[in-house]
Amino acid sequence: MLLLHLTFAFLLILSIAVEHAWPPWLQMGWTSPQLGLVAVLSIGLVSGSTAGAVAGFFGAIFAAATGSLPMGGLFITYIGTGFIAGSLSGRLFSTRITVAVIASLVAVAAASLVHLILVPPPQFFPWLRTAALTVVSTGIWAIPVYAFFRAIGAWLTPEPSAY
Amino acid sequence: MLTRTQSPATNTRLMVILCIAAIALTYWQHRAHNAGQQSFPERLAKRIVWPLQAAATSTFAWTHDVCVSLTHARSLVEENRKLKEEISRLEADKVTLNEYFLENKDLKQKLGLVVSGEVKGVAARVISHATSPGGPILTIQSLDGRDLEVGNTVRTQRGLLGRIISAQKSIGEVMLVTHADHAVAGVVQRSRDQAMVHPISPIRSGQPLLEVARLRGQADIQVGDLILTSSLSDVYPPNIPIGTVIRVQTAPASSRTFRALIKPAADLRNITYVLVLRSAK
C-alpha cells in the first residue's frame, strides 16, 4: 500500500508539472488541460475518499505554487473533487473511463465557477470561452490519465487473498 | 479496487484537519504575497516540481522537434542550406563590424571619451511555460548556475520578452510582455514618439499582440514602425525591440486617439533559450 501511495504522490506531482509545462502547440485556444485536477479525481476514484482528499490538499499546494495562483480556491476545488469522487466511487460511480471523463468535466466546470466567484475576471465572455475550452481539453486528456492511474492502482493493489 | 473502509468519524476528523491546514496555508500565502514574497510551502513545492517541469518541457520540445523533422524534412534541408549561407554572410559582416568597432574604440580613446562596457548577459533555458490568470509565465534557469534577480530584463535575440518577477537562485519566473499586468514605456524608432505599450488578451486578438496607448503629443506612428524600449523606462534598458506595428486604428470615440497593434519582436510561442540582462535599471 505504501508503494501505491508513493507512486500516486509522484504521479500527482508529475501531472501538475506536465500541466504547467504544457506546450503552446498542444494548447486548445490558449488553454491547457487541468491534469492536476484529473489526477486528484483519479486518485479519489481508485483509492477512496481519504486518499482523494489528501491528494486534493497536496495537489492544491503544488498547483498554487507552480501556477502562482491563490491557494484558497484551489483547496476548495481540489479537496472537494478528491473527496466527492472517492466517496461516490464505490456507490454511484463505477470505474469506467467514461464516468471518469464526465466527472472530470464536472470537476473542471466547478473549479472554473469557484474561480469566477473568488477571482472575478474583467470580462465574462472571454472567461466563458476559456472555461469551455479547458473543460473540453481536460475531458479529452482525462481518458489516458485516468486509465493510467487505474492500471497502476490495479497493478500495485494487493490481492484480496493476501489479507 | 482498494479498501474504502474508513469510518465516517475518521473521514470527518481528516476533513477538519485538512480544512484547518488549508485555511492556515491560505492565510500564510496571503501574508507573504502582501509582503511581496512567497510563503515557505510555495517555495518548497516549486523546488519539488521544477525538475519535473524541466524534464517535461524538454520532452515536449524534443517531441515537437521530432514531429517537425519528420513532417518537414525536405523544407528543413532547404532551410538549413539557406541558414548556412546566411551564417557565411553574417560571419563576413561580423569581421567588418569588428574592424569598425576597434577603429571606433581607438578613436574614442584618442578623443578621451569613455568607452562603455558590454551589457552583462546570462544565458538561460526555459524550463516551463505556465499559464496564470493574467497570462503566460515562463520559468527559466541560468545555464551556468549564476543567480537570477528580481527585475532582471529577459530578451531573446529578436527582442524583449519580459522581466523576472520572482527568483530562487538560478531559477526565475518571467512575466512576459503579453501578461495582463505588464506595461512598458516604448519609443517609435522612426519618429522617436514616446508610447506606453500594453498587452491585448490573446482571446480577443487570437494571437499574442500588444497595443500602444496614450501617445504623447502628435502621434506619428505607421504600419511597419519598430517600437523600442524607451530610455524613460525605469524597468528596462533602452533600445531593445518590443515589436513591429502591424495595424493602426483610430478609436471610434475620438479621432485624435490612435490605437496601434504591435506584433511582439520575440517569438513568444517558441522560446527555448533566453538572455537575462543583469545590468538593467
pLDDT digits (tens, 9 = 90+) for B177-202: 888 888 888 888 888 888 888 888 76
d(CA B210, CA B25): 36
- A138 near A105, Cβ under 8 Å? yes
Q: Which three-class secondary structure state does DSSP give residue B122?
A: strand
The pLDDT-based confidence of B280 (bands split at 50, 70, 90) is: very low
CATH of the domain at B191: 2.40.10.350
CB B281 within 8 A of CB B236: yes
What sign for the dihedral angle of Cα B245, B247, B252, B254? Answer: positive
Q: Which residue of B has its CA nearest to A133?
A: B203
User: H/E element holding B251?
Assistant: none
Say yes or no: B143 and B32 in one domain. no
Q: Which residues on chain B are in Cβ contact (under 8 Å) with A79?
A: 15, 18-19, 22
CA atoms of A63 and B133, how far apart (whole Å): 13
The conformation of residue A26, written as its DSSP 8-state character, comes to G
Taking CB atoms and an 8 Å cutoff, what residues of chain A touch B55?
17
pLDDT score of B83:
93
B199 and B94, same domain (yes or no)? no
Measured between CA atoms, the residue of chain B closest to residue A82 is B15
Compare all CA atoms of chain A with the CA of B206 and give the residue at the minimum distance. Answer: A29
> How does B17-28 read in b/e, with b if 16+ C-beta sit within 10 Å?
ebeeebeebbee
In chain A, domain spans: 2-22+32-153
One domain for residues B83 and B137: no
Q: What's the pLDDT score for residue A41?
A: 92
Distances (CA, A) of A14 to A22, B56, B174, B185: 12, 9, 22, 39
Are B142 and B124 contacting, i.e. CB atoms less than 8 angstroms apart?
Answer: yes
Query: What domain range is B99 assigned to?
Result: 72-117
Can you name the CATH fold of A2-22+32-153? Answer: Arp2/3 complex 21 kDa subunit ARPC3 (1.10.1760)
Closest B-chain CA to A128: B203
Report the pLDDT value the prediction gives residue A163, as an integer from 0 to 100. 46
Confidence of residue B2 (pLDDT cuts 50, 70, 90): very low
What pLDDT, on the 0 to 100 scale, is given for residue B1? 44
Chain A residue with Cα closest to B58: A21
Does residue B213 sit in the same domain as residue B226? yes
Number of residues in chain B = 281
Task: Examine the pLDDT at B209 and tell me if it is beyond 70.
Answer: yes
pLDDT at B217 over 60: no
Q: Does residue B5 lie within any of the structural domains? A: no
* pLDDT value at residue B25: 93
pLDDT at B20: 93
Number of domains in chain B: 3
From chain B residues 134-153, the ones with a CB under 8 A of any chain A CB are: 137
Q: What tens digit of pLDDT does each residue of B8-18 get? A: 777 788 889 99
Residues B263-281: b if buried by 16+ CB within 10 A, e if exposed: bbbbebeebeebebbbebe
pLDDT at B33 over 60: yes
Quote the CA–CA distance of A142 and B229 in Å, as a whole number.
43
User: Residue A103's pLDDT is what?
Assistant: 87
Q: Cell numbers at residue A10, please?
A: 509522484
Of A25, A61, A95, the CB nearest to B64: A25
Q: Which residues contact B272 (CB under 8 A, 6 or more apart)?
A: B61, B125, B126
B230 lies in the same domain as B281? yes
Residue range B88-136, pLDDT digits in tens: 899 888 888 888 888 888 887 777 765 555 556 888 888 877 767 677 7
Q: So what's the pLDDT on residue B203?
A: 60
- The stretch B30-39 carries a mean pLDDT of 85
Task: Kindly state whether residues B82 and B164 are assigned to the same domain.
Answer: no
Q: Judge if B159 and B259 occupy the same domain.
A: yes
* Nearest CB to A153 within list B1, B15, B173: B1
Average pLDDT, chain B: 82
Give every residue of chain A whose pLDDT is below 70, as ranges. 90-95, 159-163
Query: Rounded CA gap, B35 and B53, in Å?
Result: 27
In three-state form (DSSP H/G/I as H, E/B as E, the rest C), the secondary structure along B201-246 is: CHHHHCCCEEEEECCCCCCCCCCCCEEEECCCCCCCCCCCEEEEEE
A64 vs A59, A73, A74, B88, CA distance in Å? Answer: 8, 9, 7, 48
pLDDT at B253: 57
Instruction: Verify whether the Cβ–Cβ distance B4 to A69 is below 8 Å.
Output: no
Provide the percentage of residues in chain B whose pLDDT is more than 90: 12
For residue A51, the chain B residues in CB contact (below 8 A) are: 2
Q: Do residues B103 and B131 share a domain?
A: no
Asked if residue B258 has pLDDT above 80, the reply is no
Three-class SS of A31-88: ECCCHHHHHHHHHHHHHCHHHHHHHHHHHHHHHHHHHCCCHHHHHHHHHHHHHHHHHH
Rounded to an integer, the average pLDDT of B139-144 is 86
Q: Do B173 and A68 touch (CB under 8 A)?
A: yes
Alpha helices for B72-120 (secondary structure H): 73-111
Regarding whether B207 and B145 lie in a shared domain, the answer is yes
Per CB-CB distance under 8 Å, the chain B contacts of A21 are 53-54, 56-57, 60, 127-130
Convert the pLDDT of each residue in B148-181 to its tens digit.
Answer: 888 899 988 888 999 998 888 888 889 888 888 8
The minimal CB distance from B49 to the residues A13, A68, A121 is found for: A13
pLDDT surpasses 70 at B60: yes
Kindly tell me the sign of the dihedral angle through the C-alpha atoms of B46, B51, B57, B59. negative
Q: Which residues, listed in sequence order, are joined to residue B130 by a DSSP beta bridge?
A: B137
Residues B80 and B48 reside in one and the same domain: no
Q: What are phi and psi of B89, to 5 degrees?
A: -65, -45
How many A-B residue pairs are in contact by the CB < 8 A criterion?
Answer: 147
Is residue B65 assigned to a domain? no
Across the interface, whether the CB atoms of B1 and A62 are under 8 A apart is answered no
Which residue from A minimizes the CA distance to B174?
Answer: A68
CA distances from B220 to A136, B184, B244 (A): 45, 18, 14
Asked if A121's CB is within 8 angstroms of B133's CB, the reply is yes
ipTM given for this complex = 0.85
In this structure, are residues B53 and A20 in contact, taking their beta carbons and an 8 Å threshold? Answer: yes
* Pair (B169, B235) in one structural domain: yes
Determine the residue among A13, A66, A118, A124 to mutate to test chain B binding: the one whose Cβ has the most chain B Cβ atoms within 10 Å.
A66
Residues B225 and B254 in one domain: yes
